[in-house]
Chains A and B, each alone.
Chain A
Amino acid sequence: MSTPTAAAPATPQRPALPSVWRPPQLTRRWWPVFLRNLLVWRKLALPSLIGNIAEPLIWLVAFGYGMGALVGQVTVDGTQVPYILFLASGSICMSAMNAASFEALYSAFSRMHVQKTWDGIMNAPVGLDDVVLAEMLWAGFKAIFTATAILFVMLALNISHSPKLIVAWFVLIGVGITFSCIALIFNALAKGYDFFTYYFTLFMTPMMFLSGVFFPLEQLPGVVRAISNWLPLTNAVALVRPLFMDQWPSDVLRHVAVLAAYAVVAFWAALAFTRKRFRT
């Protein structure tokens, strides 16, 4: 049936493309993508594990025992702790950060850009959002796997045997997730592997020194401390360190909220930039 309006000349109008900032459309199809990464990694898990934990342990031994002999005790919230404990609790956060970042940058980029694995997956009924979620969780998994291995070595070295390390383990899952979300933003924006050097030298390395991993934040000037308080790694260390000392952290809500905010905002941004990358 024709109506007068139907007879009106159709004005050519371009349907607006859906915004890349629309909410995530997530389904359970992230799981086969996660499982794919797990199956590949399983083939080289042992050498990769050695690679992942060797470096943090060298830092720990060299700095912890070397510097520790010079520094002796460090004061944390009025409590004297051995430097090795101070360093171990900070460096495990750093290890989780590094493991998540490497996976969500170099490895994810290989799958996305070099091997075209994502393209293959998206020819099946799996959406880009699910692929990004899978990569995020996978990098988080790699982080907690590495952190767990280091944690066992620390237990063996008798650096800490606090029962609260169980809680620290859960915090480290969150730390891995947060940093994998942040790294995926840079993965989405990268033209090549070289781009990641900027991320490491301009973001990760400064943060490593400004987050209280190697020395107490009290030693930093006020302005720098103000910045440091909002860095994700600072908040991670603030949660994990007391747990290593068999104490409960203070300002838990604030630290968790900062990490969660970084994770949520970064994941959303990573998704938007990745959608943009794949739109054309």
Chain B
Amino acid sequence: MPTPPAPLFQASHLRKRYGDTTVVDDLSFEIAPGECLGVIGPNGAGKTTTIRMCLGLTAPDDGHIEALGGLRMPQDARAIKAQLGVVSQFDSLDPDFSCAENLVVYARYFGIAKRDMAAQVPRLLEFAALSHKADAKPGDLSGGMRRRLSLARALVNDPKLLMLDEPTTGLDPQARHLMWERLQRLLQEGKSILLTTHFMDEAERLCSRLLVLDHGRKIAEGRPRDLIAQHLEPHVVEVYGNGANGQDRSHGTQALADSPLKALAARVETSGETVFFYTQDARPLLDALARHDGLRIFHRPANLEDLFLKLTGRQIREDG
């Protein structure tokens, strides 16, 4: 059996406390060359702190990080960052510079001279679909354009590994799809990506492997499809409770969830006015539901969002 390639990035037993709160707790993960590792978790799960430790911006209380063939974080932070591209959660573009200038100025921080960027800048702007905005300032760009400029800026040093903290948060679907298309292109070029996201379709689409965090701990890890198969029944039937029980609306959904229908599903969850039936075989359930009047029924395959909610719960987080 061929040995798997040595990991590009390896975090072992990371732990970080702020006061009495443990923000990251015994977290270990690896990123293989060419892989896109997704980190998902509710707000406050420790995603951003993990990225900050990976970037050497904050030191872990315990554990260690090794990258790019024996370099250690934070001791070798500069050597590691020379081969890293970063898009942080909030834009840090220079508002006083044009798009092209932003790239040139940022490249200097890597020791790349302006003349060496002459050919790169048009190429990067084209990659970011911003060729027509070369002279525009970030303030004149849309949210999606700014994020793509941030991505282009993270590529000035032709990095091996990209760390992207919620790269599509706040973007409209068009801008998000364009970002996904660009990230897929980078993966095809052989780059590796560490990505945090709140969008399960994004995680499913881009990530070869996922890390589910909650309360600073790793609660699941694996390929998206495998995780779904491992933790969930393949079918989900959502029943909207409006009129689910005509006589007593206030107990409508609960009545449905507690009815004999329950026996037809492996697991039943209620959230507000909606009942979720998780089942291996949806047919008998759908037939039974068809006999009820006034229900709105939605049958779909189980997805990553179901997995996420099953693992981390449906309750809203304090800062969510």
- Which residues in A have some Cβ–Cβ distance to B below 8 Å? 12, 14-15, 17-18, 29, 32-33, 35-36, 39-40, 43, 115-117, 119-127, 278-280
Contacts and interface: CB of A to CB of B under 8 A. Distances in A.
A115 B92 contact: yes
Nearest to B108: A32
B97 A39 contact: yes
B109 A125 contact: yes
28 contacts: A12-B62, A14-B62, A15-B61, A17-B59, A18-B59, A29-B109, A29-B111, A36-B108, A40-B94, A40-B96, A40-B97, A115-B92, A116-B91, A116-B92, A120-B92, A120-B94, A120-B153, A122-B57, A123-B88, A123-B154, A124-B106, A124-B109, A124-B157, A125-B77, A125-B79, A125-B111, A126-B109, A278-B57
Given A36-B108, A278-B57, A125 B92 contact: no
Given A17-B59, A123-B92, 18 more contacts: A36-B108, A39-B105, A40-B94, A115-B92, A117-B92, A119-B92, A120-B92, A120-B94, A123-B154, A124-B106, A124-B109, A125-B82, A125-B109, A125-B111, A126-B78, A127-B77, A279-B59, A280-B58
Contacts of B78: 125-127
Closest 4 CB pairs of A and B: A120-B92, A124-B109, A32-B108, A123-B86
Contact of B81 (A17, A119, A123, A278): A123
Contact of A115 (B18, B82, B95): B95
Interface in B219-242: none
A131 to B, nearest CB: 10
A19 B313 CA distance: 40
Nearest to A116: B92
Nearest to B18: A280
A30 to B, nearest CB: 11
A117 B108 contact: no
Contact of A123 (B18, B55, B95, B108): B55
Given A119-B92, A120-B93, A125 B110 contact: yes
A93 to B, nearest CB: 30
Interface of B: 18, 55, 57-59, 61-62, 77-79, 81-82, 84, 86, 88, 90-97, 101, 105-106, 108-111, 153-154, 157
Contacts of A124: 81, 106, 109-110, 157
A190 B88 CA distance: 23
A146 B129 CA distance: 42
Nearest to A115: B95
A184 B96 CA distance: 22
A36 B96 CA distance: 10
A208 B187 CA distance: 60
Nearest to A40: B96
A15 B74 CA distance: 13
Contacts of A126: 78, 109
Nearest to B63: A15
Nearest to B105: A36
Nearest to A27: B78
Contacts of A40: 94, 96-97
Contacts of A15: 61-62
A59 B84 CA distance: 52
A156 B91 CA distance: 47
A18 B157 CA distance: 29
B109 A121 contact: yes
Contacts of B93: 120
Contacts of A39: 97, 101, 105
Nearest to B49: A280
A280 B110 CA distance: 25
A125 B74 CA distance: 12
A185 B237 CA distance: 60
Contacts of B61: 14-15
Contacts of A280: 18, 58
Contacts of A29: 109, 111
Nearest to B84: A123
B62 A119 contact: no
Nearest to A32: B108
A116 B90 contact: yes
A135 to B, nearest CB: 14
A207 to B, nearest CB: 32
A120 B106 contact: yes
Contacts of A14: 61-62
A36 B94 contact: yes
B100 to A, nearest CB: 12
Contacts of B90: 116
A10 to B, nearest CB: 11
A32 B171 CA distance: 32
A39 B101 CA distance: 10
Nearest to B92: A120
Given A125-B81, A279-B58, A119 B88 contact: yes
A32 B62 CA distance: 34
B122 to A, nearest CB: 20
A115 B92 CA distance: 6
A31 B243 CA distance: 69
Nearest to A124: B109
Contacts of B55: 123
Contacts of B94: 36, 40, 115, 117, 120
Contacts of A32: 105, 108-109, 111
B66 to A, nearest CB: 15
Contacts of A12: 62
